Amino acid sequence: MQTALSLETIRKDFPILQRKVRENKLLVYLDNASTSQKPIQVIDAINDYYKNQNANIHRAVYALAEEATEAYENTRTKIAKFLNVQKREEIIFVRGTTEAINLVAYSWGRQNVNKGDIIVTTEYEHHSNIVPWQLLTKERGAKLEYIGVDDNGELILDQLDSYLETGKVKLVTFSQMSNVLGTITNTDEIIKRCKKVGVKTLIDGAQSVPHMKVDLSKLECDFFAFSAHKMLGPTGVGVLWVRKEVLETMQPFHGGGDMIREVHKYETTWNDLPYKFEAGTPNIADVIGFSAAIDYLNKIGMDNIRNHEIELTKYALDKMSKVKGITIYGPKDIAKRGGVISFNFHDVHPHDVATIIDKDGVAVRSGHHCAQVLMERLDVAATNRASFYVYNTKQEIDALIGSLNKVAELFKL
């Protein structure tokens, strides 16, 4: 990796990568699209907060509370800078991508989506970008439509045009990178077409932000959501970014402490942005842990991370395609995909594959990946998925290939 840090140094920062699993096998962790491992810097930051700073934020005047508030709010500023956002009040802390999308569906959706309106999503969405819209459209008498996926694993954008032509579309919501196929969405093109007819856009960045540079000052979407735990940070923290002009029109999601200005018996006025959308005591420790994760990513550099993953993905695709009986899904063009490779063996159930290779300490995901709509489109019950991150090595991919060859041998493929 062309960076100030060598791969060897990076791996030493992740205590879990030193452990053995099953029969004394070194862990080969290839389920990063599900959640990433955490460097010691993140673990220490959370520990340090509980040991030295633990206090509730935004309220008390004593020293601890001041320090905790500062650490929490500094993270907001850091994230704004990370995404090139000028207005830090556009950054809302939530539990994760799922909560972020639900917030938009509940708050913005119920105010703006009415009978006969259309919400457009895609066939390669995670359930978290489908189910909230099913709930909303059913409640409002609106319709949910899907942009299809072609045989190369890319979106069929002509279908977007036909939905937009109806004049009824209120929102187009899509993932910037498919969590199953690894396809990188042609985000600029979708947003351009939507803006031309005044339709709002939401981007699910859960798979993209951890792996490539995202500049929100250039993307002209209206909502953007992602999670900390897929980018070296802790679970239970995520971010919703909303363009200020839109955020200012939105009613609160949750009511409670911290989101209010004044509460009287029958009337309440709201706190300023972003606090209006952060009811209750937030996940302070993990937000502070997230701050350390962003420092770590910045130290390596997002472009270096992307390049490292391109190299690993190329290497893996080349070797995997030579394994007997294997089918690999998603775009062939490396520029169009992230470090996520879904595959199946002819006639071998993905759970059998995962169990066999788990014995060698290789962790891949098997199942529907919370993308059952896509599984239907691919006409499979499930797939196996290997996904890479900053600490993975070519030797680990070799270990995966060795285990996959065992599967082929065992099932006589």
Partner 1 sequence: MTGDPIYTEMIIEYSKHPSNFGEIENPDISQHDSNPLCGDSIDLQIKINENKVSDIKFKGKGCSICIACTSVLTELVKGKDLDEVKKIEKNDVLGELGLEHLIRTSPVRIKCALLSLKALKYGIYSYFIEKMKDEKSAGNLKEEATNLY
Q: Which residues contact 225 (CB under 8 A, 6 or more apart)?
A: 94, 97, 100, 101, 104, 202, 203, 204, 205, 206, 238, 239, 240, 241
User: Least CB distance from residue 123 to partner 1, whole Å?
Assistant: 18
CA 77 – CA 57 distance, rounded (Å): 16
**DSSP code per residue over 364-395:** -EEE-TT-HHHHHHHT-S-EEEEE--TT--HH
Structure tokens at 214: 């995202």
Judged by beta carbon, residue 107 or residue 366, the one nearer partner 1 is 366
Residue 89 lies near partner 1 (rule: CB under 8 A):
no
Give the one residue of 276, 368, 369, 385 binding partner 1; rule: CB under 8 A.
368
Judged by beta carbon, residue 19 or residue 22, the one nearer partner 1 is 22
Judged by beta carbon, residue 118 or residue 354, the one nearer partner 1 is 354
Position 308: which residue type?
H
Judged by beta carbon, residue 192 or residue 359, the one nearer partner 1 is 359
Judged by beta carbon, residue 246 or residue 381, the one nearer partner 1 is 381
Residue 364 lies near partner 1 (rule: CB under 8 A):
no
According to DSSP, residue 330 is labeled S
Residue 411 lies near partner 1 (rule: CB under 8 A):
yes
Residue ranges with strand state E in 176-222 = 200-204
Selected catalytic residue, list 180, 370, 378, 386 = 370
370 classed as catalytic: yes
Instruction: Report strand pairing: 268-270 vs 25-26.
Output: unpaired
Do 247 and 213 contact (CB within 8 A), yes or no?
A: no
Instruction: Report strand pairing: 25-26 vs 20-21.
Output: antiparallel
> Which residues 370-399 are close enough to bind partner 1 by CB under 8 A?
381-382
User: Least CB distance from residue 346 to partner 1, whole Å?
Assistant: 12
Judged by beta carbon, residue 139 or residue 376, the one nearer partner 1 is 376
User: Least CB distance from residue 404 to partner 1, whole Å?
Assistant: 13
Residue 406 lies near partner 1 (rule: CB under 8 A):
yes
According to DSSP, residue 44 is labeled H
Judged by beta carbon, residue 193 or residue 406, the one nearer partner 1 is 406
Q: Which residues contact 346 (CB under 8 A, 6 or more apart)?
A: 325, 326, 327, 413
Tally of CA atoms within 13 A in the half-sphere of 258 that contains its CB: 17
Residue 244 lies near partner 1 (rule: CB under 8 A):
no
> Which residues 298-357 are close enough to bind partner 1 by CB under 8 A?
347-352, 355-356
> Which residues 257-276 are close enough to bind partner 1 by CB under 8 A?
none
User: Residue 366 pairs with which residues in a beta bridge?
Assistant: 384
Q: Which of 232, 213, 231, 208 is nearest to 337 (CA)?
A: 208
**DSSP code per residue over 241-277:** EE-HHHHTTPPPSS-STTSEEEE-SS-EEEPPTTGGG
Judged by beta carbon, residue 24 or residue 217, the one nearer partner 1 is 24
Interface map 19-58 toward partner 1 (x if CB under 8 A): ----------------------------------------
User: Least CB distance from residue 336 to partner 1, whole Å?
Assistant: 28
According to DSSP, residue 253 is labeled S
User: Least CB distance from residue 253 to partner 1, whole Å?
Assistant: 29
Position 181: which residue type?
L
Do 372 and 392 contact (CB within 8 A), yes or no?
A: no
Residue 410 lies near partner 1 (rule: CB under 8 A):
yes
Give the one residue of 51, 196, 264, 412 binding partner 1; rule: CB under 8 A.
412
Q: How far is CA 372 from CA 102, 143, 364, 402, in A?
A: 19, 19, 18, 29
Catalytic annotation, residues: 370
Interface residue list for partner 1 (CB under 8 A): 347-352, 355-356, 359, 366-368, 381-382, 406, 409-412
